Structure 1
Amino acid sequence: MRFATYSANGETNYGVATGEGMIALSADFPQWATLRQVIESGGLHELSIAAQGRAVSHPNGSFDFLIPIPDPEKIICVGVNFPDRNAEYKDGQEAPPNMSLFIRFPRSFCGAGQPIILPPESDKLDYEGEIAVVIGKEGRRISQENAFDHIAALTLCNEGTLRDWVRHAKFNVTQGKNWDRSGAMGPWLVPFTAAAQLDDIRLTTRVNGDLRQDNRTSRMLFPIRRQIEYISTFTTLVPGDIIVTGTPTGAGARFDPPVFLRPGDVIEVEAEGIGKLVNTVEDELVESRT
């Protein structure tokens, strides 16, 4: 089953995504306003049962995907997490002892099929294809041995970045990582049931059909088990939290000269067993200051 949050006829719903469209389920479960609450209550299996034998309620073309978890408590992103990506930094360090982390806000992402936005303040919008894990069980100081027990589902992320704005301050990247609708997440959640779904799967990013990023999760400097262990040392992970697990080398900033995203570009992030996240790029329409 693939669980998605979507909008149709001015209303936000969640349901099951099929090849023909969406099976609406949120009206049947008024106790769960969002997929975050479904996960918090351990309700994904109940949704699966409810969807069986149901007809599509919203055919393709009649709805828009939204980010799967619209109301996470936190989105934590892991930076510089593949060997070739680390080699891009000329600091002589083969691998850092600890992972780099930063926070993103939910409104910095749009859903699958929606345009990511290039603001007038920058012409250096870049892509970063990543796998994201959604926490399903609360935990603090979680061991690597038990880390996968705390994952409820998987999704995809284009962790779009304004490269010049990540250099506005000496130590932080927050500004360049949190422009409204500068990235994308989705299109759906795939329930996590086995380690094989994460341990060694291929992750790719294409721009206008050109393969730009291509790597496997088995090559991560900080495997996802370690990410959960490390992050839960300093903060309690709760259901609906999202960990964006790191991007391979191949972003546009590393080309010579750099190749940044432009309106009309199509970005496809794909991972085995999860699916494909496709977005276009549009200029932001700015009317006036408020």
Structure 2
Amino acid sequence: MKLLRYGQVGHEKPGLLDNDGQIRDLSQHIDDIHGTTLSPQSLQKLKNIDINSLPIVQGEQRFAEPVSRVGKFICVGLNYADHAAETGVSVPSEPVLFMKATSSITGPNDDVMLPKGSQKSDWEVELGVVIGKEAKYVSEEDALDYVAGFCVINDLSEREYQIERQGQWCKGKGCDTFGPFGPYLVTPDEAGDVDNLSMWLEVNGQRMQTGNTKTMVYKVPFLIHYISQFMSLQPGDIISTGTPPGVGLGMTPPLYLKEGDVMKLSIENLGEQQQKVVSYQG
């Protein structure tokens, strides 16, 4: 299934994408898409629905973030060896973890707003993993049993805040609108081989990132296992698994986002995002 949420901010409804690319309304079956509705039992009930019995949503719709009420937004840094190299650091001996503020979450095609005075805002296409049931001290072998689905994430970063402001990465990662994800949550049976998905990102039509999840240092099962040793993972939590090379920080000279830029990004089988960059509006 490709689960999604659609509608204007604050008025989103649950839905799914059918095989013809039409949005089908799920609001007669669930109130929203969140931790409770992502349990294995709930997902199985949704899979058993006759998709043709669901109303077709008419007209152009805004895609919202496909999961609401996210509790934790956990990210993995430097998880592609070639990305680590372009930033001038070694591949870490264990996964580097940091948190992204849940207030950064926004729809996949919503505007990205530069922080006030930002000069070094950057892009990162990443594979997102959404948890479907509570995970504590899980084994690597069982880890995928805890996954509700996969999605596209743009892990935007303000590099000055992240690197130069004497603190943890969360300063540069949690800015408002710096966590677009979606357009849908794709269940594992339709996501394909998540260890071999192509991914890319463009800025103003120019290809910046071209990669594949097969070059991830720490794979999805290990990451779920590893993170669950330090904290419980709850239904609806997101893990963003790292980015391939091609970020603005790694270019010579570095290249950063400015007002009017348009980012487009995609991961195989998981859909496409597009965001316009706007200046701070306060």
TM-score by length of 1: 0.89
1:20 positional shift: 5.4
Q: Amino acid of the residue matched to residue 77 of structure 1?
A: C
Distance 2:145 2:45 in 1: 19
Deviates more, 1:130-139 or 1:195-204: 195-204
2:198/2:213 contact within 8 Å kept: yes
Establish whether residue 71 from structure 1 lines up as the match of residue 69 from structure 2.
yes
Unpaired runs of 5+ in structure 1? none
Deviates more, 1:267-276 or 1:44-53: 44-53
**CA distance 1:17–1:193, shift in 2 (3 Å):** closer
Question: Paired residue for 1:240, among 236, 241, 247?
Answer: 236
- Compute the RMSD of aligned alpha carbons: 2.1
SS of residue matched to 1:45? helix
Distance 2:72 2:175 in 1: 16
1:112 positional shift: 1.7
Corresponding residue number in structure 1 for 2:84: 86
Corresponding residue number in structure 2 for 1:154: 150
1:157/1:183 contact within 8 Å kept: yes
Corresponding residue number in structure 2 for 1:216: 212
Establish whether residue 45 from structure 1 lines up as the match of residue 44 from structure 2.
yes
Q: Over residues 242-269 of structure 1, what are the superposed CA-to-partner deviations in whole Å (9 max), with x where a residue is unaligned? A: 1000001110121112111122222122
1:197/1:273 contact within 8 Å kept: no
SS of residue matched to 2:202? strand
Distance 2:256 2:50 in 1: 41
Distance 1:285 1:271 in 2: 30
Establish whether residue 135 from structure 1 lines up as the match of residue 131 from structure 2.
yes
Identity of aligned residues (%): 31
1:75 positional shift: 0.9
4+ residue runs of structure 1 moved beyond 4 angstroms?
18-21
Distance 1:239 1:20 in 2: 27
Q: Amino acid of the residue matched to residue 149 of structure 1?
A: D
Question: Paired residue for 1:119, among 100, 104, 115?
Answer: 115
SS of residue matched to 1:281? strand
**CA distance 1:119–1:9, shift in 2 (3 Å):** closer
Matched length:
280
Question: Paired residue for 2:267, among 268, 271, 282?
Answer: 271
| More strand, by proportion | 1
Corresponding residue number in structure 2 for 1:106: 102
Corresponding residue number in structure 2 for 1:13: 13
Deviates more, 1:2-11 or 1:140-149: 2-11
Distance 1:157 1:51 in 2: 30
Q: Over residues 58-109 of structure 1, what are the superposed CA-to-partner deviations in whole Å (9 max), with x where a residue is unaligned? A: 42x2x32221112111110000011111113445x4x321011110122212
Distance 1:34 1:202 in 2: 27
